């Protein structure tokens, strides 16, 4: 068994990882994960209410017990551009490729919604570079100037990409 398996049919075993759109039952797990990193000023905080309102924009990676191990969200910035937000992986699950999987799942969601490109503000540019993101000018995103400690990265989405290809 590989460290990360995508389960598409049937119930997952205890060791399998499921990457899927978030559900209301995931809100507490997402909120706890985001808050863990927000407490260290590594992510912007999100309340449970904010997550509920944006639940259709979140994807999660869960274990066989349905515990949220990773999450990421899409935020529409313009009709062709989406922002990748709330990318978080539990400390216990680091190194298993779950960050890559949830980012790829959000990119798939963005393509389904007609977005041509994604951007993110990050403290981890090497992670995003490994996924094909390139540095972007902060001036392109004027309302993001309030985050001078982050780096802006962007990626053009292509229709022929296979879902989860970057995670393989």
Distance CA 120, CA 136 (A): 9
Whether 6 is in a domain gets the answer: no
State phi, psi for 153 to the nearest 5 degrees: -130, 155
Query: What is the full per-residue pLDDT of the chain (168 aa) written as tens digits?
Result: 233 344 444 444 556 899 999 999 999 999 999 999 999 988 889 999 999 999 999 999 999 999 999 999 999 988 999 999 999 999 999 999 999 999 999 999 999 999 999 999 888 899 999 999 999 887 676 665 555 567 889 999 987 665 544 443
Whether 142 is in a domain gets the answer: yes
Question: Is residue 105 a contact partner of residue 74, using CB atoms and an 8 Å limit?
Answer: no
Question: Is residue 54 a contact partner of residue 17, using CB atoms and an 8 Å limit?
Answer: no
Residues 6+ apart with CB under 8 A from 154: 117, 118, 119, 120, 133, 134, 136
Tell me how many domains the chain contains: 1
Whether 13 is in a domain gets the answer: no
Element (H, E) at 107: helix 98-112
Distance CA 65, CA 153 (A): 34
What is the structure's pLDDT at 16? 87
Whether 9 is in a domain gets the answer: no
- For the chain, what percentages of helix, strand and coil (3-state, to nearest 5) are there? 35, 25, 40
Distance CA 81, CA 7 (A): 29
Whether 12 is in a domain gets the answer: no
What is the structure's pLDDT at 162? 55
Whether 4 is in a domain gets the answer: no
Whether 1 is in a domain gets the answer: no
Which of 50, 48, 60 shows the shortest CA–CA distance to 103? 60
What is the structure's pLDDT at 90? 96
Whether 7 is in a domain gets the answer: no
Give the dihedral sign, CA 88/91/92/97: positive
For residue 135, give its domain range: 18-167
Which of 59, 51, 61 shows the shortest CA–CA distance to 84? 59
Write the CATH number for 129.
3.40.630.30
Element (H, E) at 31: helix 27-38
């Amino acid at each position: 068994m590989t460290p990360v398996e995508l389960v598409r049919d049937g119930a997952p075993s205890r060791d399998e990882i499921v990457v899927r759109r978030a559900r209301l039952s995931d809100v507490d797990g997402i909120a706890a994960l985001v808050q863990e990193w927000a407490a260290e000023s590594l992510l912007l905080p999100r309340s449970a209410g904010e997550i509920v309102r944006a639940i259709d924009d979140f994807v999660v990676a869960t274990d066989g017990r349905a515990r949220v191990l990773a999450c990421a969200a899409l935020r529409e910035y313009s009709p062709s551009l989406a922002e990748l937000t709330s990318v978080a992986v539990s400390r216990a699950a680091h190194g298993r490729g779950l960050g890559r999987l949830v980012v790829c799942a959000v990119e798939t969601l963005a393509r389904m919604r007609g977005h041509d490109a994604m951007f993110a503000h990050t403290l981890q540019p090497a992670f995003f570079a490994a996924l094909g993101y390139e540095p972007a000018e902060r001036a392109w995103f004027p309302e993001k100037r309030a985050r001078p400690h982050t780096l802006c990265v962007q990626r053009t989405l292509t229709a022929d990409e296979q879902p989860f290809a970057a995670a393989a």
